[in-house]
A = this chain, B = another copy of it.
Amino acid sequence: MTGELHDELAGLGQLEIKKASTAEHAAEVLREIILSGQLPQGQPLREMSLATSLDVSRNTVREAIRVLAREGLVTHSPHKGAVVTRLTQRDVADIFRVRRTVELAGVEALPGAPDEDLAPIADATAALEAAAARPGWAAVIDADRRFHESIVDLVCSPRLSRFYDAIQAELRLCMSIVDRRNEEREPLVAEHQQLLALILARDVARCTELMVHQLAKAEQMLLGVVAKDAP
């Protein structure tokens, strides 16, 4: 009988995620709006206006804003409200310091990782190749995100993975102001393929080296963008 039950649940597969709490849902909507770059950095979030446009009560909006504040996507000041976080060069440097620490910890965990934990990394690489062949950056960025997330997951620490999630959200916020019109995508694919090869070979030393190099390059790029954005 557990069989039938399981089948029934499987049929509901898509619906099960239908609804968390209203506040979480509101937070998710806001998060996507912010991360998609529709709101410029520093833009104030007015509770009343959001409440009417999201069609929820002001209290619910407040909860959502608190969630985003904890994630670092908005910055809250007492009696002044929340604004979309304005990332400074210092923030970018900090984010990449965390990336080095956490992602390299994932690489260090490589020797003891079972093969099936490596599969998501290969999947993300494949998705990255496929996305690069088609127009649009959204899929590319998402595949890149999954790639690095899978590396951190090698540590097998839910808390570390959650923390890294928040870091990636800030990173996306930062990347939302990047102008990618004339940016190459082939190098990105090639770099990740190299990384994947070293990962599958479980070559910790060279993987670390390459990853440090790539992170430094990305950091330089974003430092430049942030510098230009905030005069």
Binding site for B on A (CB under 8 A): 20-21, 59, 62-63, 66-67, 70, 72, 78, 94-95, 97-98, 101-102, 105, 155-160, 163, 167
Contacts and interface: CB of A to CB of B under 8 A. Distances in A.
A155 B97 contact: yes
A159 B155 contact: no
Given A63-B63, A63-B66, A70-B70, A159 B105 contact: no
Contacts of A156: 97
A95 B98 CA distance: 18
Given A66-B67, A105-B105, A163-B163, 14 more contacts: A21-B78, A63-B66, A72-B159, A94-B157, A94-B158, A94-B159, A95-B159, A97-B155, A98-B157, A98-B159, A98-B160, A101-B101, A101-B155, A101-B157
Contacts of A158: 94
A174 to B, nearest CB: 13
